Amino acid sequence: MPNVERVHPLPKPAARQSKLQWNVLLKDFRFFVSFCLAQLIVRRTLRRRHKERARRLKLMRLAQPGLNEELNKSVDELGETQC
């Protein structure tokens, strides 16, 4: 059998490996930031809609103080189906 030297693959330079790791970390960080921003936008939108709905219902109750409890409940149910 002939003497064959085994060829070992050259290791990647450390700078290139660390650069790849930083690229992956930056991509993950960008995704995390965009996800948090989307969550913030959704929360603010839902909170604003809730406040507007509560204000409308309050104005409806103040405008017609003679309504009985059944009518108030039906107004609440009607408002919930719209949102």
Predicted structure pTM score: 0.49
Q: What's the confidence (pLDDT) of residue 18?
A: 77
pLDDT tens digits along 23-68 = 889 999 999 999 999 999 999 999 999 999 999 998 888 877 665 5
Give me the DSSP letters along the chain.
Answer: ----PPPPPPPPPHHHHHHHHHHHHHHHHHHHHHHHHHHHHHHHHHHHHHHHHHHHHHHHHHH-TT--HHHHHHHHHHHHHH-
Q: What's the confidence (pLDDT) of residue 72?
A: 59
Whether residue 15 is predicted with pLDDT greater than 90 in this model: the reply is: no
Q: What's the confidence (pLDDT) of residue 60?
A: 86
Q: Domain coordinates of the chain in residue numbers?
A: 21-82
Q: What's the confidence (pLDDT) of residue 82?
A: 55
